[in-house]
Structure 1
Amino acid sequence: MVNTQTESKSNTSIQIGISACVLGEKVRFDSGSKASKFVTKELAPFFDFVPVCPEVGVGMTVPRPTIRLVSEEQRIALVETKDPTKDHTDKMIDYSNNKVDELTQTELCGYIVCAKSPTCGMERVKVYTKAGASNEGVGLYTDVLMKKMPWLPVEEDGRLNDPVLKENFISRIFSLKDFYDCVGDSPTSGKIVAFHSRYKLTLMAHDPISYKALGQLVAKVADYDNQEFYELYRLKFMQALTNRASRKNNSNVLMHIQGYFKKSLSGPERQELRAVIDEYRQGLLPLLSPLTLIRHYLSLYPDAYLQSQKFLAPHPQELRLRYSL
């Protein structure tokens, strides 16, 4: 069964999982929150948030004693800081498995987790040993989430302050939503091939190696049944997009796009486009500059293939995510 509910949902409804404290809910150990203004102000108009607090989910109180991860012989344990005999590991793992299984039955397109949390941290979570502490852990809940939903875009609240990481994360969310919308409840090879065609330039920008590999996969679509191909393509496509588009790759894609205008543009127009792309390549202009000019030329000289490419508009312009790339 395909885990999509496209036909019953609005096209603008994009479900995003989120640590409840990041959304502003006062569920932390000290009865506080860790509200993100970027989330509550800038992202809220575009997404439907699904808040989760694993600690509250397993029945911990608010406020509550602090907890931490401890490395034991056979496992990473979740225990109370002041009384390590109070072990919450099994309850947390059971809850995490059940909650993530529940989420896989929804059209979840991304997840924002609380950094450094022993349950929700995505990376560099402190793990304590008798010899001290290392920053090499993953929160127990988020570890289950990423293993059970490896295609899902997951990012920490603090990392969203980085414009490159932020743009990459939001692009992946909208790409996954687009995938679900295109495939619907009845996946077919034709639908996925059509989707892939619209993301060729995007894949070239993010990861040229994956672009070639996905092209080879799509060419062998007849070797798979629809459900198997759906799951494999979704995983490989979303993994490719985790590679951040570099200035070099973006510049190569822009030059590739320029070739489609060879017969349409006048000499001065070609020179202008080439100059803007070159200034972007040198870091003198943001990505938005050549894209704006290309969209202008597309309005004058339409090209069906280019106009279908999500590379030109991977997310709403109102989010202002390409101003500093």
Structure 2
Amino acid sequence: MQSIKLRIGINHCLTDNNDLRYNGETLSDGFVQHTLWKYANWIPVCLEIETDHIHQTLGCQSEHINDLSKKYLDGFILTSNSPRHDSFRPKVGLSKGGTSASNDMGVFARSLSLKYPALPIEENDRLHDPLIRENFLERIFTSKRWNIAFSNSFTPHALIQFHSSHKFLFMSHSVSLYQEMGRLVARSGLLTLTELKDRYVVLMSSSLKQMATPNKHTNVMQHIMGFLKGLIDADEKKEIVETIDQYRTGQVPWIVPITLLNLHLRKNSAADWVLNQTYLNPYPAELMLRNIV
């Protein structure tokens, strides 16, 4: 997985210091330029232009959106504070009368979300938040695994394998949605392949959009620890239990209990099924996404 690059749609100005924004400023992003680029092939979309000419390009939106359908994107990074992209998440402010007023999504953001509701989309400024960054990267790497798994054909058997290998990843976001996905997979023979695929993608996207929490991760890691039963001694078990609880209470970052679990699972030759769970290694460790959450 780490050798296969993500395909990420992105505003061109986030990758090029010399690109001019709508307001005459230039923009680049440290995380995008210095970290994420190692794992991504950018699909640049240059939509920001001089303000005086903005109306001349509004008619080009559908062409840009339709072109993207051929790119097999794994995710999209929008530019924050852009009149065209801003905002993927509508902002709420005060109107002249002092009441709350909601701004509409930017033209491109709205069109993108409507046409590709399951596509992981995020604003570059929000990626500075460690929790949001981890969630977004987890979503796009999951999207990449999905695109690879079903690039040639979609079969119920392949879906069962995908669903099984992502069990704990999905559980860390929503146990109820994971169970609903399981019921859908079990009914695969009653649906057309298109219906099955479309419904599963919607549920998967909805699940991953729900932020994981220390309590959810604790539940998942305790489940994983069960696969070490009979393989570790009392002291080792105590260490794992204490480390997971230290994470739950905010004393250590997530990387500590996950590393410990990975160590014991591999050291004791745990079942391949649990070793192959994407939850244990959902993205390259070099991104260090679990080190500060």
Q: TM-score, normalised by structure 2?
A: 0.91
From 230, 239, 259, the counterpart of 2:206: 239
What is the letter of the counterpart of residue 96 of structure 1?
Answer: Q
Match of 2:245 in 1: 278
Alpha-carbon contact 1:13-1:47 (below 8 Å) kept:
yes
Query: Aligned with 2:14: secondary structure?
Result: coil
Match of 2:5 in 1: 13
- Following the alignment from structure 1 to structure 2, what is the Cα–Cα distance between the partners of residues 270 and 48? 42
- Following the alignment from structure 1 to structure 2, what is the Cα–Cα distance between the partners of residues 107 and 11? 17
Instruction: Measure how far apart 1:228 and its partner are.
Output: 2.5
Matches within 5 A, 1:79-98: 88=55, 91-92=57-58, 94-98=59-63
Query: Aligned with 1:88: secondary structure?
Result: helix
Instruction: Measure how far apart 1:125 and its partner are.
Output: 5.3
CA RMSD of aligned residues (A): 2.3
Question: Structure 1 residues 281 and 55 mapped into 2: Cα distance closer, same or farther (>3 Å)?
Answer: closer
- Following the alignment from structure 2 to structure 1, what is the Cα–Cα distance between the partners of residues 25 and 54? 23
Query: Aligned with 1:283: secondary structure?
Result: coil
What is the letter of the counterpart of residue 107 of structure 2?
Answer: L
From 64, 67, 74, the counterpart of 1:102: 67
Match of 1:51 in 2: 44
Instruction: Measure how far apart 1:131 and its partner are.
Output: 6.6
* Unmatched runs of 5 consecutive residues or more in structure 1: 1-9, 57-63, 66-79, 81-85
- Following the alignment from structure 2 to structure 1, what is the Cα–Cα distance between the partners of residues 290 and 54? 45
The C-alpha deviation readout for 1:51-103, integer Å capped at 9, x for no partner, is: 112245xxxxxxx23xxxxxxxxxxxxxx6xxxxx8828x52x4222211211
- Following the alignment from structure 2 to structure 1, what is the Cα–Cα distance between the partners of residues 202 and 239? 39
The C-alpha deviation readout for 1:288-310, integer Å capped at 9, x for no partner, is: 11111111111222221111111
* Unmatched runs of 5 consecutive residues or more in structure 2: none
Instruction: Measure how far apart 1:136 and its partner are.
Output: 2.6
The C-alpha deviation readout for 1:275-296, integer Å capped at 9, x for no partner, is: 1111111111111111111111
Query: Aligned with 1:296: secondary structure?
Result: helix
- Following the alignment from structure 2 to structure 1, what is the Cα–Cα distance between the partners of residues 11 and 145? 24
**2:26 is the alignment partner of 1:33:** yes
The C-alpha deviation readout for 1:245-293, integer Å capped at 9, x for no partner, is: 1110000001111111111111111111111111111111111111111
Instruction: Measure how far apart 1:27 and its partner are.
Output: 2.9
What is the letter of the counterpart of residue 136 of structure 1?
Answer: N
Alpha-carbon contact 2:266-2:275 (below 8 Å) kept:
no
What is the letter of the counterpart of residue 153 of structure 2?
Answer: S
Match of 1:296 in 2: 263
Query: Aligned with 1:111: secondary structure?
Result: strand
The C-alpha deviation readout for 1:224-255, integer Å capped at 9, x for no partner, is: 22233222212221221011111100000011
Alpha-carbon contact 2:92-2:101 (below 8 Å) kept:
yes
- Following the alignment from structure 1 to structure 2, what is the Cα–Cα distance between the partners of residues 193 and 100? 32
Higher helix share: 2
- Following the alignment from structure 1 to structure 2, what is the Cα–Cα distance between the partners of residues 49 and 135? 32
- Following the alignment from structure 1 to structure 2, what is the Cα–Cα distance between the partners of residues 87 and 269? 63
Match of 1:268 in 2: 235
Question: Structure 1 residues 234 and 29 mapped into 2: Cα distance closer, same or farther (>3 Å)?
Answer: same
The C-alpha deviation readout for 1:32-55, integer Å capped at 9, x for no partner, is: 321001100000110011111224
Match of 1:59 in 2: none
The C-alpha deviation readout for 1:135-167, integer Å capped at 9, x for no partner, is: 532100110001100010000011011000000
Structure with higher Rg: it is 1
Aligned residues: 288
From 115, 127, 131, the counterpart of 1:160: 127
Q: Percent identity?
A: 29
